[in-house]
Amino acid sequence: MKIVVCIKQVPDTKGGVKFNPDGTLDRGAMLAIMNPDDKAGLEAALRLKDQFGAEVTVLTMGLPKAADVLREAIAMGADKGILVTDRVLGGADTWATSTTIAGALRNLDYDLIITGRQAIDGDTAQVGPQIAEHLGIPVISYAQNIKIEGDKVIVQRQYDDRYHVLEAKMPCLITALSELNEPRYMTPGGIFDACAAEITTWGRADLKDVDDSNLGLSGSPTKIAKASDKVRKGAGEKVVPDSAEDAVAYIVGKFKEKHII
Amino acid sequence: MDFTLSKEHEMARQLFRDFAENEVKPLAQEVDEEERFPRETVEKMAKYGFMGIPVPREYGGQGCDILTYVMCVEELSKVCGTTGVIVSAHTSLCIDPILTYGTEEQKQKYLPDLASGRKVGAFGLTEPGAGTDAQGQQTKAVLDGDEWILNGSKCFITNGKEADVYIVIAVTGTIEKNGRKMKEISSFIVEKGTPGFTFGTKEKKMGIRGSSTYELIFTDCRIPKENILGKQGQGFKIAMHTLDGGRIGIAAQALGIAEGALERTIAYTKERKQFGKSISGFQNTQFQLADMATKVEAAKMMVYKAALKKDEYRSNPKISYSVEAAMAKLYAAEVAMEVTTKAVQLHGGYGYIREYDVERMMRDAKITEIYEGTSEVQRMVISGALLK
């Protein structure tokens, strides 16, 4: 079985979020980590590898330093890393990103593609399903459990108060939740191997069946007008009702006013 | 000369740091309080290869260098001195002598289980009347046909009852050297469960209280003839060489304890308010922290240098790392004691309370000035090399 896991290098929010004066994220000033949902997806792939002997390829799109997350993935047990990097691909929104990644994936054989549900820096949850659309394969999102039976995958898809069990024929794409599993650590020997491993680097020219008009900043329909830090919530309204009944009536009234009930 | 860590070492440090924070730190207080060997941590470390970091791949190890191993002990010790010494004694005192002096059969037989952490290793040199003075050894080994018969006891043995494979030093006869009669000392590999090999009392210690420290007792304990490690009479050399390597591990433990205490003290002094401001705002605190950090940094340089020297030795056995190891251990241990003592002082009354990590760290630090050669012995090794 061949599995491709799409991973993203994202800023580590543990050390605090830092912004440039123009309100955009200062990525250079923040430590970078593998996106947590993607890491769970990688772990799921590695467990399938342990179970069935799959070949796991990790793929990322980003700046050259994004190769670090590929090396981390290899140190955890992935077999190969592919970095898609090119100046013309910069500034991509989810559409241009998924177009790019699909263009890269068309060069590969795969039975299963796993992506994270969403990246902690953008939180769109759009790229995984869009890749599947571009490639014309089924997608099962929000996976909290993955099983393989013959040429099918059986996935528990998380829902608000329940989960759905879905079955799909491979090849297909699954988006993983960080709750899916507890990702393994790297091993010291794995780190040394990963640093010696050759990372395949692809640019625009290596993307298959994609149009320039769908790539990079110019190919992105989404334009960011402004980015800013979270607006602090106000102090709120303080109310001191005369009785418990008045308090209940007040709260119920507010709920109705805001269409909560 | 380059002080920049390689990509491999940066990644390895991050790995050890994450593991220590997530898996080791939450248990550190409990392990100390209950004097409990953290078996579950050893199993996790085994799973991720921490029990065989500098062991070649052909023997089931990770195939990494000594610096990577040292960083592992350092990061573990930052949060738990007990866990640091478990890895150090296992790797430096049991695996290393088998790797250096073992026959191919011994390496094939013992290293895969030790390097994978399926088995834990220990080293028995110290006796009630013989520590660094190996000539004071009383434990005897007598060859009887195809077996050695061991009689005697070893004390203060780290990983004592929890280990499976032991390197044991014993007297195998007498030799004449420069007209003087001396004990002939040899080393052996002894497996747990061998009839005649039992354990004495568990030591109740001041620090590293989760480490299993026991007396080993040998009563007509018969081991196969082929379990002699190295040549007959080579035991003293093997023991001293093993301790050279062990000292780098203990120096890394001491460094980790000092770093851990410094980190906690920096955080505490920023939070703790007296006379209307954080105590980090007082110049006394600032100067103390500056001195602590400077000494920790100097210790780190010495420990890493000793590790690199041992790596050089591994590709060129003519190189000696004995003095670098002694200096690193001497300095790092004394820095650990000084820094943890200051850390407790800067924490004030809270530093004396067990709820705060620095109390444990100060107790853990003390042993680094004692085991695997006291600070006085390190000075003997260093001055001996200077004046020879």
Q: Which of residues 169-188 of A touch B (CB under 8 A)?
A: 184-188
Mutate to test the interface with B, among A39, A186, A199 (most CBs of B within 10 A): A186
Tokens representing B308?
């690199």
Three-class secondary structure of residue A249 per DSSP: helix
CA distance A136 to chain B (A): 38
The active-site residue out of B74, B75, B259, B372 is: B372
Q: Check if the beta carbon of residue B339 is closer than 8 Å to that of residue B296.
A: yes
Tokens representing A31?
């430590």
Each residue's pLDDT tens digit, B68-96: 999 999 999 999 999 999 999 999 999 99
Mutate to test the interface with A, among B5, B11, B47, B70 (most CBs of A within 10 A): B11
Q: What is the mean pLDDT of residues B347-371?
A: 97
Kindly indicate whether the ipTM for this predicted assembly is greater than 0.90, answering yes or no.
yes
Each residue's pLDDT tens digit, B293-320: 999 999 999 999 999 999 999 999 999 9
CA distance A14 to chain B (A): 13
Residue closest to B236 by CA, chosen among B188, B187, B189, B190? B187
Instruction: Convert A20-52 into a string of H (helix), E (strand) and C (coil).
Output: CCCCCECHHHCCEEECHHHHHHHHHHHHHHHHH
Task: Determine whether the interchain pair A195/B6 forms a contact, defined as Cβ–Cβ distance below 8 Å.
Answer: yes
Neighboring chain A residues of B62 at a CB cutoff of 8 Å: 187-189, 192
Residue B2: the pLDDT is 81
The 8-class DSSP code of residue A19 comes to: B
CA distance B48 to chain A (A): 5
Residue B135: the pLDDT is 79
Residue B102: the pLDDT is 98
Residue A257: the pLDDT is 87
Question: What are residue B141's DSSP bridge partners?
Answer: B150
Element (DSSP H or E) covering residue A53? none
Residue B281 pLDDT > 80: yes
Neighboring chain A residues of B49 at a CB cutoff of 8 Å: 187-190
Q: Check if the beta carbon of residue A25 is closer than 8 Å to that of residue A32.
A: no
Tokens representing B33?
């309080």
Neighboring chain A residues of B63 at a CB cutoff of 8 Å: 189, 192
How many whole angstroms separate alpha carbon A56 and alpha carbon A39? 13
Residue B238: the pLDDT is 96
Residue B347 pLDDT > 80: yes
How many whole angstroms separate alpha carbon B350 and alpha carbon A12? 33
Q: Which residue of A has its CA nearest to B64?
A: A189
Residue A24: the pLDDT is 65
Instruction: Convert chain B into a string of H (helix), E (strand) and C (coil).
Output: CCCCCCHHHHHHHHHHHHHHHHHHHHHHHHHHHCCCCCHHHHHHHHHCCHHHCCCCHHHCCCCCCHHHHHHHHHHHHHHCHHHHHHHHHHHHHHHHHHHHHCCHHHHHHHHHHHHCCCCCEEEECCECCECCCHHHCCCEEEEECCEEEEEEEEEEECCCCCCCEEEEEEEEEEEEECCEEEEEEEEEEEECCCCCEEEEEECCCCCCCCCCCEEEEEEEEEEEHHHEECCCCCHHHHHHHHHHHHHHHHHHHHHHHHHHHHHHHHHHHHHCEECCEEHHHCHHHHHHHHHHHHHHHHHHHHHHHHHHHHHHHHHCCCCCCHHHHHHHHHHHHHHHHHHHHHHHHHHHHHHHCCCCHHHHHHHHHHHHCCCCCCHHHHHHHHHHHHCC
CB under 8 Å, gap of 24 or more: what pairs does A15-24 form? A17/A229, A19/A227, A19/A228, A19/A229, A23/A226, A23/A227, A23/A228, A23/A229, A24/A224, A24/A227
The fold adopted by the segment(s) A2-214 is Rossmann fold (3.40.50)
Q: Which of residues 29-68 of A touch B (CB under 8 A)?
A: none
A194 part of contact set with chain B, CB < 8 Å? yes
Residue A23: the pLDDT is 65
Residue A259: the pLDDT is 83
To the query of whether residue B372 is one of the catalytic residues in this protein, the response is yes
Residue A22: the pLDDT is 67
CA distance B62 to chain A (A): 4
Residue B52 pLDDT > 90: yes
Each residue's pLDDT tens digit, B164-196: 999 999 999 999 888 899 999 999 999 999 999
CB under 8 Å, gap of 24 or more: what pairs does B7-12 form? B7/A71, B7/A195, B8/A191, B8/A192, B8/A195, B8/B64, B8/B68, B9/B67, B9/B68, B9/B71, B11/A71, B11/A72, B11/A75, B11/A186, B11/A191, B11/A194, B11/A195, B12/A188, B12/A191, B12/B64, B12/B68, B12/B71, B12/B72
- Compare CB distances from B53 to A185, A188, A194 and report the shortest one's residue: A188
Task: Determine whether the interchain pair A189/B61 forms a contact, defined as Cβ–Cβ distance below 8 Å.
Answer: yes
Q: What is the mean pLDDT of residues B238-256?
A: 97
Q: pLDDT tens for chain A, 261 residues: list them.
A: 999 999 999 988 777 777 777 666 677 778 899 999 999 999 999 999 999 999 999 999 999 999 999 999 999 999 999 999 999 999 889 999 999 999 999 999 999 999 999 988 878 889 999 999 999 999 999 999 999 999 999 999 998 889 999 999 999 999 999 989 999 999 999 999 999 999 999 999 999 999 999 999 999 998 877 776 666 677 788 888 889 999 999 999 988 888 888
